[in-house]
RNA sequence: GGAGGAGUGCCCGAGUGGUUAAAGGGGACGGACUGUAAAUCCGUUGGCUUAGCCUACGUUGGUUCGAAUCCAACCUCCUCCA
């Protein structure tokens, strides 16, 4: 790995963000010499980003920290198509309404990582629907489409999977890379963007943008991709105990988010500290070097730091404290995630199965029953073996309500209201 | 437009008339062991008012005592030809 002169690339490199760069020395020189504007695109495929997208956001964050101007691009236009890169089959088309809803959901998170505004180094958020939607088909084909070789596009790894699996790649999807390339050029014209960053799966798309720039006479554009992150044991990032690790607080609580990072595999701690927190490198290295059970301290630090950036320091500390009470002291913290159940339901008694379903710990009565049969269920820390168990007012603790547990890690408070 | 092939549970994939809620693998979840880790081992993996009932093998009909399995039409995809 070469030594970078610019703060930005050096930081990214030291912290493990860099997978490929189109022209290392050229880009380094640019960053060393002037304030650079770079962008990353975010597809509105869900109403929240998840942990997998954090690495991109962190790259934008470091850009701003080292004195440059990040642009977060919402794919309101490209979302009308859906990126086929490395997908083994076509995605369902999203309606314009869904896309808009998703963009509204996604955009909120960025202000925790970036400072937006009008200044030369303030971050920008733009939506490619602004220029993609009004395009005139024939004009676009003549101005932009003629620069693309279908022969070449077919040779990209990103579509290979689809072709190899004998799955259809529709013409609609085939256009995605053209539009993304056009975005790059358009962003250069509008905001002087010189660099596009993204996950390593975006390399082909970004390179297309650079090529298009050449042909349309933009200044030299650059590509920088981050590694596709998996855990040390090979799983994709972003799955938690309760599903996806969403960034939006209404989709995943700060506590559950904290728990996700707390359960990081040993072998990932060092890497994640560098990627997902802003802790100094020597501190990250020290924490990662802790051996045996000691490394749990590093995991807590990781969890608290990552959570603090997203949900705020207070929420992170509280999540940490809730976890400490729950796992280390074995007492019921009243800050555990909770569900409210009408007090009246307990008068005649509510079945343990349906309580499990309402609390979200099980998807169906059958699943709850299987968990009970498997010995995974506890009520106020008492094992439950009877799936017909009725929960009545007598089971309620006056302070906390009722603690329902599934396995060793999932706990939820049931509050009578 | 013509000829041939395919569509199975979260995913991959077996299954060509009955004992099939459907082999096997993966993933996921739970248990044991640990350190709220990994690896390993064990178990579970359609719903319900659970000795029973309901829904399910692209869709809709049909044949049959009985269909994921046979027939017809339709939809989608693949391959070759035009």
Q: What is the DSSP letter of A121?
A: T
pLDDT of residue A160: 75
- Edge to edge, the sheet with strand A20-21 lists A20-21, A222-226, A195-199, A37-42, A69-74, A124-127
The answer to whether the beta carbon of residue A286 comes closer than 7 angstroms to any atom of strand B is: no
Q: Taking a C-beta distance cutoff of 8 angstroms, is the pair A73, A41 a contact?
A: yes
A300, closest nucleotide (Cα–C1')? B36
Residue whose pair of structure tokens reads 């890169």 in the numeric block? A85
Q: Is the pLDDT of residue A40 over 90?
A: yes
Helix (H), strand (E) at residue A139: helix A137-143
With respect to residue A19, please indicate whether it lies within any of the assigned structural domains. yes
Residues A127 and A80 reside in one and the same domain = yes
pLDDT of residue A305: 98
Summary count for chain A: helices (H), strands (E): 19, 15
Q: What are A235-263's pLDDT values in tens digits?
A: 667 666 666 789 999 989 999 999 999 99
With respect to residue A1, please indicate whether it lies within any of the assigned structural domains. no
Q: A166 falls in which pLDDT band (50, 70, 90)?
A: low
Residues A18 and A82 reside in one and the same domain = yes
Torsional class of A393: left (φ above 0), alpha (ψ -120 to 50), beta (otherwise): alpha
Residue whose pair of structure tokens reads 């059970």 in the numeric block? A293
Q: What are A96-119's pLDDT values in tens digits?
A: 888 999 999 999 999 999 999 988
Residue whose pair of structure tokens reads 């790649």 in the numeric block? A169
What is the four-CA torsion angle of A316, A319, A325, A328, rounded to 10 degrees?
A: -70
pLDDT: is A267 or A86 the higher one? A267
CATH number at residue A277: 1.10.240.10
With respect to residue A244, please indicate whether it lies within any of the assigned structural domains. no
Q: A366 CA to B20 C1', in Å?
A: 21
Residues A260 and A397 reside in one and the same domain = no
- Cα–Cα distance, A172 to A78 (Å, whole number): 11
Within 7 Å of a protein beta carbon, the nucleotides of strand B are: 27-32, 34-39, 43-50, 76-79
Q: A137 CA to B27 C1', in Å?
A: 43
Choosing from A330, A348, A367, the residue where a domain stops is: A330
Report the DSSP beta bridge partners of residue A246: A50
The DSSP-derived string for A254-289 is HHHHHHHHHT--GGGHHHHHHHH----HHHHHHHHT
Domain that holds residue A271: 253-330
- Cα–Cα distance, A262 to A274 (Å, whole number): 15
Residues A138 and A207 reside in one and the same domain = yes
Q: What are A308-357's pLDDT values in tens digits?
A: 999 999 999 999 999 999 999 888 888 888 898 888 888 888 899 999 99
Q: What are A184-230's pLDDT values in tens digits?
A: 999 999 999 999 999 988 999 999 999 999 999 999 999 999 988 77
Residues A161 and A199 reside in one and the same domain = yes
With respect to residue A384, please indicate whether it lies within any of the assigned structural domains. yes
- Edge to edge, the sheet with strand A402-406 lists A338-341, A410-416, A402-406, A377-379, A382-383
3-class DSSP state of A415: strand
Our CA angle for A188, A124, A129, nearest 5°, is 70
The answer to whether the beta carbon of residue A324 comes closer than 7 angstroms to any atom of strand B is: yes
Q: Is the pLDDT of residue A371 over 80?
A: yes
The DSSP-derived string for A200-239 is GGGHHHHHHHHHHHHHHTPSPPEEEEEPPPB-TTSPBTTE
Residues A287 and A366 reside in one and the same domain = no
Q: Is the pLDDT of residue A279 over 90?
A: yes
Structural domain total, chain A: 3
Residues A152 and A257 reside in one and the same domain = no
Q: A175 CA to B11 C1', in Å?
A: 28
pLDDT of residue A240: 61
Choosing from A281, A297, A330, the residue where a domain stops is: A330
pLDDT of residue A406: 93
Lowest pLDDT segment from A158-162, A191-195, A386-390: A158-162
A320, closest nucleotide (Cα–C1')? B36
């Amino acid at each position: 790995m070469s030594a970078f002169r610019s703060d930005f690339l050096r930081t990214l490199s030291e912290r493990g963000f860099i997978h490929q760069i189109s022209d290392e020395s050229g880009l380094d020189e640019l960053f060393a010499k002037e304030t650079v504007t770079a962008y990353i695109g975010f597809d509105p495929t869900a109403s929240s980003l998840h942990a997998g997208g954090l690495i991109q956001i962190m790259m934008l964050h470091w850009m701003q920290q080292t004195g440059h101007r990040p642009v977060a691009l919402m794919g309101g236009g490209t979302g009308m198509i859906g990126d086929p890169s490395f997908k083994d089959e076509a995605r369902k088309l999203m309606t314009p309404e869904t896309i808009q809803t998703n963009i509204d959901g996604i955009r909120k998170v960025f202000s925790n990582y970036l400072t937006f505004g009008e200044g030369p180094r303030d971050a920008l958020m733009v939506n490619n629907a602004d220029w993609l939607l009004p395009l005139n088909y024939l004009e676009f084909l003549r101005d932009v489409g003629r620069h693309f070789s279908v022969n070449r596009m077919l040779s990209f790894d990103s579509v290979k999977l689809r072709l190899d699996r004998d799955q259809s790649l529709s013409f609609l999807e085939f256009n995605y890379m053209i539009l993304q390339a056009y975005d790059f050029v358009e962003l250069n014209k509008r905001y002087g963007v010189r660099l596009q960053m993204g996950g390593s799966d975006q390399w082909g798309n970004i390179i297309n943008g650079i090529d298009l720039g050449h042909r349309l006479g933009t200044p030299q554009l650059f590509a920088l991709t981050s590694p596709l992150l998996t855990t040390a044991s090979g799983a994709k990032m972003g799955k938690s105990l309760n599903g996806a690790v969403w960034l939006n607080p209404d989709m995943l609580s700060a506590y559950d988010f904290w728990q996700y990072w707390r359960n990081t595999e040993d072998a990932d701690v060092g890497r994640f500290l560098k990627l997902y927190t802003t802790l100094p490198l020597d501190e990250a290295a020290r924490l990662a070097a802790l051996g045996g059970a000691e490394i749990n301290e590093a995991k807590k630090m990781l969890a608290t730091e990552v959570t603090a950036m997203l949900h705020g320091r207070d929420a992170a500390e509280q999540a940490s404290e809730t976890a400490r009470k729950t796992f280390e002291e074995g007492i019921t913290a009243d800050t555990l995630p909770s569900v409210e159940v009408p007090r009246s339901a307990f008068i005649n008694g509510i079945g343990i199965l349906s309580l499990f379903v309402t609390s979200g710990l099980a998807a169906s009565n059958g699943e709850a029953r299987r968990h009970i049969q498997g010995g995974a269920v506890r009520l106020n820390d008492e094992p439950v073996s009877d799936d017909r168990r009725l929960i009545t007012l007598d089971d309620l603790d006056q302070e906390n309500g009722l603690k329902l547990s599934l396995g060793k890690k999932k706990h939820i408070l049931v509050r009578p209201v």
